[in-house]
Amino acid sequence: MIIGGGMAFTFLKVANNMNIGKSLFDEEGSKIVNRILEKAKANNVQIHLPVDFVTAEKFAEDANSGTATVQSGIPDEWMGLDCGPESVKTFKEAIARAKLIVWNGPVGVFEWEKFANGTKQIMDEVVRVTKENGATTIIGGGDTATCCAKWDTEDKVSHVSTGGGASLELLEGKVLPGVDALSSAN
């Protein structure tokens, strides 16, 4: 399992005591990070988190950018806006081994070229394993679906859904209200 994008900073701060600067942090979500990591370990699920980052002094397309690692941390006034080349390498290795990929959420601010490389590299690998390895690849979520449209990969993966939250709830086995209403109408 790969945890990237803004969610990764919550995991890294809690699990590694990493300085994340002004990167996204989910206070409520931070309360369950250790339980998620323990459950993953108990079920022999390997969690892949970023190890390096493309950083910015502010959340803006024209921001000065830099780099950071888990070890160095992100400077207090900076934020992580993409994963770095070592993270991309690790993520691509995990993707290459997968037979089923469910991808929800980009790993960087892909809308801005300076912070799009991580997501683009991962998209290229997902497309490659779909074609060459026969992996089933499901893209779930508006932002990730937008990535497919941006890089013209909608027809190069198994399925693209714009319903990110709904897609995940369906995979969790939850009954979706619209499906329930249609089922009840019969």
Number of CB atoms found within 10 A of residue 26's CB: 16
Q: Which residues are CB-contacts of 121 (< 8 A; sequence separation ≥ 6)? A: 88, 92
Fold entry, domain 6-172: Rossmann fold (3.40.50)
pLDDT by residue (tens digit) across 62-108? 999 999 999 999 999 999 999 999 999 999 999 999 999 999 999 99
Domain range summary for the chain, segments of one domain joined by +: 6-172
Q: Which residue has the tokens 């994963």?
A: 83
* Among 74, 83, 167, residue whose Cα is nearest residue 119: 83
pLDDT at 163 over 80: no
Q: Work out the pLDDT band at 8, boundaries 50, 70, 90.
A: very high
d(CA 75, CA 51): 15
d(CA 175, CA 178): 9
Mean pLDDT, the chain, integer? 94
Beta bridge partners of 51: none
∠ CA 183-185-186, nearest 5°, is 75
Q: Taking the model in full, what pTM does it have?
A: 0.89
